[in-house]
Copies of this chain bind each other. A is one copy, B any other.
Amino acid sequence: MSWRKDERRAERGYHHGNLKEALLQAALDLIGQKGPAGFTFADAARMAGVSPAAPYRHFRDRDELIASIAQRGFEQFESALTQAWDDGRPDTVSAFERVGKAYLKFAREEPAFYSAMFESGLPVDSNPTLMAASERAFAIIRAAAERLAALAPPGQPRPPAMMMALHIWAMSHGVASLFGRGDAARRKLPMSPEDLLEAEVLIYLRGLGFPTDRKPDERKPAEPPPLDEKPSGPFSGPWGKAK
């Protein structure tokens, strides 16, 4: 197998041409496999077919590579949340729930990004660019909360949108961190993380006075009601899916 490196070099010549990108991709793969702690700079270099010193032409040190990945992660995260929110279409509440699901989906499908963003142990506030990217992602949640707060029923003091956003973020992050990834930190659950978070958000919104006791067919008009689910009363509440 030792011909690999030479062959690669023969293929590409002395200069790689796109090393920075290749390193980021390699690091992403490695973090996905072994977590941000298990990832090594030398491995990424090997995977890209260059010498262990080459990466230092593109990243000051190992931490800067991880920070770059976190940065890119926040950008994709923002994009995913934006798409899920879809500016509140077709209605604010269901769009809001889509955002929660998108949060979990991102944590599950991009565990490498997620752990680089939240579990790599690097100080968020040390890197202003990183901090800004993180805040842009949170701004989506905040904007959604803003729209939701505006819909709050009258007759009660209107909840501060910032607080709502922080609450939703904490719920999503808590569920994702504790139960969200398939393999790591697995704990037995009576329901899926998605359903768990959806119930939590619905209960929370009801606590703010939002009417949330919709029937399933009001939420997904095209979907026939499942036959194996017998309702437990006049309405089955947000936790209707619990085991």
Residues of chain A having any CB pair with chain B under 8 Å: 35-38, 115, 118-121, 123-125, 134, 156-157, 159-160, 162-163, 166-167, 169-175, 177-179, 183-187, 189-191, 196-197, 199-200, 202-208, 232-233, 236-239, 242-243
Contacts of A204 on B, CB cut-off 8 Å? 200, 203-204, 207
Please, how many angstroms separate the alpha-carbon atoms of A169 and B187 in the complex? 13
Quick one: closest B residue to A35, CB to CB?
B121
| Shortest beta-carbon distance from A197 to chain B in Å | 8
B124 touches A199 (CB 8 A): no
Contacts of A199 on B, CB cut-off 8 Å? 163, 167
The A interface, classified by DSSP as helix, strand, loop or mixed, is helix
Contacts of A125 on B, CB cut-off 8 Å? 186
B119 touches A121 (CB 8 A): yes
Contacts of A162 on B, CB cut-off 8 Å? 190, 242
Quick one: closest B residue to A121, CB to CB?
B35
B166 touches A196 (CB 8 A): yes
Number of copies: 2
Contacts of A172 on B, CB cut-off 8 Å? 174
Contacts of A159 on B, CB cut-off 8 Å? 203, 237, 239
Choose one: B35, B166, B173, B200; the contact of A167 (CB below 8 Å).
Answer: B200
Contacts of A177 on B, CB cut-off 8 Å? 118, 173-174, 177
Please, how many angstroms separate the alpha-carbon atoms of A180 and B188 in the complex? 26
Quick one: closest B residue to A209, CB to CB?
B206
Contacts of A124 on B, CB cut-off 8 Å? 184-187
Q: A163-B196, A203-B167 are in contact. Are A38 and B237 (CB under 8 A)?
A: no
Quick one: closest B residue to A240, CB to CB?
B157
Quick one: closest B residue to A175, CB to CB?
B170
Please, how many angstroms separate the alpha-carbon atoms of A167 and B242 in the complex? 12
Quick one: closest B residue to A167, CB to CB?
B200
Please, how many angstroms separate the alpha-carbon atoms of A35 and B197 in the complex? 29
Contacts of A119 on B, CB cut-off 8 Å? 119, 121
